[in-house]
A and B are shown apart, each in its own frame.
Chain A
Amino acid sequence: MADLNLNQIHKSFGALEIIKGIDLDIQSGEFVVFVGPSGCGKSTLLRMIAGLEDVSSGTLTIDGKDVTHAEPSERGIAMVFQSYALYPHMTVAENIGFGLSLAKRPKAEIAAKVQAAADTLQLTHLLERKPKALSGGQRQRVAIGRAIVRDPKVFLFDEPLSNLDASLRAQMRLELSELHARLKTTMVYVTHDQVEAMTMADRIVVLNGGRVEQVGTPMELYNHPATPFVAGFIGSPKMNLYTGPFAERLGCKTYGIRPEHIRVSEDSGDWRGQVRHVERLGADAILYLDVEEASSMMVRLAGDTQLRPGDTVWASPQDSAAHRFAA
């Protein structure tokens, strides 16, 4: 349980500046997700918080203590890697207890803590196995177990779910949220997947090109994206974004409207278009329109829509839900 403050954090690799000045205050107990496209510097930022990467300039405090140049093990953090990074030659129990055994804790204490972590994560029956003999989801749990026994002030996760298949990922999202609810520890979670960000975060930090694009709760970002970048990144399917003459006619530089905020009618409306493709997801259907004035447009409809490719339709935005950006 600790605050985490980033103050004008910069990072350069050689002449290349990757992180371009980040200010961020994370409250004690918060679940914060860093989200952004691949290569925007999420991992680098997380690794600086962990102490695995030197901070080029700026300060970092955890629990009010300046840890900008502290060793990782002295920061009170624990990290779960994308690759899990389990020690292949150690059993699950040894993996989880490694940090404690390095700290020369008594054997009985290590065993008790490992047992407690294993109980929390349903790993008890696997304690004597080597990582090689575990499934992806089990390895994931061991990696989390290794983080839990350290009893950290801040948990750091770097895309921990990206090696799992879709259904397991959904399950682990739930388990991580429950873990956070139980431990109430500050967690910083990195992902490129906006679904993970929306579902788990108390607050989302959208990163783009080494800068913070916007910070807010999931619904704040969904309802009031500050920039076209955030608008396009948060929400699935993506928001329709238009620039050029089409946007100018609607009175802005960039005009955005979410697929779920467009009505479609067969005889009247604002924009005429032709159905190019219908993607049926069951409950929903995603309509891909070729709109005459703009380019393509996605519309979310009820799953039982009768529209077919080639049909001509009229689309109209719910005006209150439209986003007008000056940039």
Chain B
Amino acid sequence: MKQSRSLASGIVALIVATVIFILPFLFIALQAVKSKSEASRLNFALPKEWLFWENLVAVVEARNYQLLLAYFNSTVITVFSVSILVILSAMVGYVMQRRQSRWNGVAQVALLMGLMMPPAVVPTIGLLQSIGLFKTMTGMILIQVAYNISFSTLLYRSFIATIPRDLDEAARIDGAKPWQIFFRVILPLLKPVTVTNVVVQSIFVFNDFTNPLYYLPGRENITVQLTLYNFQSTYTSQYNLLFMNILLVTIPPLIVFIFFNRQIVTGMTAGAVKG
């Protein structure tokens, strides 16, 4: 009796998951291989002709290979901002967790404000312009770091709280300088959260649409999500190409996600039980 009920609820869960996650993806994939006129009907009918390769080439070649430039730009932004984020917020989280000082309260409030208050776009653009970083990749990277550092720091701080202080002290007795304690003892132990953090942040930064739209205008600064925007405005009727484009920009995060799936879960639950 109990078994059949859990079986039934399992099946229901699978159906719900299919509807929510698989169907939209299937829909995108279907439209992406149709012809222009078929795709404009936006239904689940199978294409008469499978135009996968043709659509792929058309999307990649569009606007003088803009998609490739966009991949390059997005990758650069993602790699740099996530690297800075990981190192910086692990260090900040470490200091905040381990050292008690008057500034802890201030830093704490700053972190929470960063987490809760929505950033104002116009003043930010004004600031970027005044320091000469508007419309630059550097500016965009710093924006991504700034927007995500609160979350990242809180993640590290709470994980570091599960690492016994004895380890720091043992290393200190072994003759480690503070930076050696961090880089040789603490940082390696942060691997599970770091994997989680890298994956979550990379996907977020790579998939970001609005921030590059505001802070990184300009043809040569295009990022992958903005290529979709271009398609929508100029080739409104070319749904097949739009969906092919969506498919292409979805794939990198998807691969990352599938590849690191297990580590992400480990990272989320790590520290819950003492190893």
Instruction: Tell me whether A and B are bound partners.
Output: yes
Question: Complex formed: what's the CA distance from A71 to B191 in Å?
Answer: 29
Contact B172 A73 (CB under 8 A): yes
Say yes or no: B188 contacts A89, CB within 8 Å.
yes
How does the 8 Å CB contact mask read for B173-199 relative to A, with 1 for contact and 0 for none?
A: 111100010001100110100000000
Q: Could you tell me how many residues of chain A have their Cβ less than 8 Å away from some Cβ of chain B?
A: 23
Which residues of the other chain, B, contact A79 by a CB distance below 8 angstroms? 169-170, 173
Q: Please give the distance in Å from B191's CB to the nearest CB on chain A.
A: 8
* Contact indicator A98/B169 (Cβ below 8 Å): no
Which one of A71, A77, A83, A146 contacts B166 once the chains associate, using CB atoms below 8 Å? A83
CA distance A80 to B209 in the complex (A): 53
Tell me whether A85 and B170 are in contact (CB under 8 A): yes
- Chain B interface size, as a band, is 10 to 19
Contact A88 B189 (CB under 8 A): yes
Q: Which residues of A contact B275 (CB under 8 A)?
A: 88, 132
In Å, the complex CA distance between A78 and B169 comes to: 11
Q: Which of A78, A87, A132 has the most CB of B within 10 A?
A: A87
Which residues of chain A come closer than 8 Å to B191, judged between CB atoms? 89
CB proximity to A under 8 Å, residues B240-275: 275
CA distance A85 to B176 in the complex (A): 15
B164 at interface, CB cutoff 8 A:
yes
Give the complex CA separation of A71 and B173 in angstroms.
8
Q: Which B residue's beta carbon lies closest to that of A84?
A: B166
When distances are taken between beta carbons in the complex, the residues of chain A under 8 Å from B188 are 89
Question: Measured between alpha carbons, how far is A232 from B50 in the docked complex, in Å?
Answer: 90
Q: Does B161 sit within 8 A of A, measured CB to CB?
A: no
| B174 x A83 contact (CB < 8 A) | no
**Would you give the shortest CB distance from B94 to chain A, in whole angstroms?**
16
- Residue B171 at the chain A interface, CB threshold 8 Å: yes
Contact of A103 among B166, B171, B175, B184 (CB under 8 A): B175
Instruction: Please encode chain A, from 99 to 130, with 1 for each CB lying within 8 Å of some chain B CB and 0 for all others.
Output: 10011000000000000000000000000000
Report if A150 contacts B (CB, 8 A). yes
CB neighbours of A72 from chain B (8 A): 169, 172-173
A84 and B188 alpha carbons, distance in the complex (Å): 19
- A52 interface residue per 8 A CB criterion: yes
B266 to chain A, nearest CB (A): 14
Instruction: Give every chain B residue within 8 A of A103 (Cβ-Cβ).
Output: 175
Cα distance, A102 to B177, chains bound together (Å)? 9
* B residues less than 8 Å from A83 (CB atoms): 164, 166
What are the residues of chain A within 8 A of B176 when measuring CB–CB? 73, 98, 102
In the assembled complex, how far is the CB of residue B130 from the closest CB belonging to chain A, in whole angstroms? 45
Expressed in whole angstroms, the Cα–Cα distance for A52 and B174 within the complex equals 12
Question: Across the interface, which residues of B come within 8 angstroms of A87, CB to CB?
Answer: 167, 170-171, 185
Inter-chain contact A52/B175, CB cutoff 8 Å:
no
Closest to A156 in B: B173
Complex formed: what's the CA distance from A52 to B169 in Å?
7
Contact with B along A1-12 (1 / 0, CB 8 A): 000000000000
Q: Could you jot down 8 A-B contacts, CB within 8 Å?
A: A52-B173, A73-B173, A73-B176, A77-B173, A79-B170, A85-B164, A85-B166, A102-B180
Given contacts A87-B171, A89-B189, 20 further A-B contacts (CB under 8 A): A51-B173, A52-B169, A52-B172, A52-B173, A73-B174, A73-B176, A77-B173, A79-B170, A81-B170, A85-B164, A86-B170, A88-B189, A88-B275, A98-B176, A98-B184, A99-B174, A102-B184, A103-B175, A146-B170, A150-B174
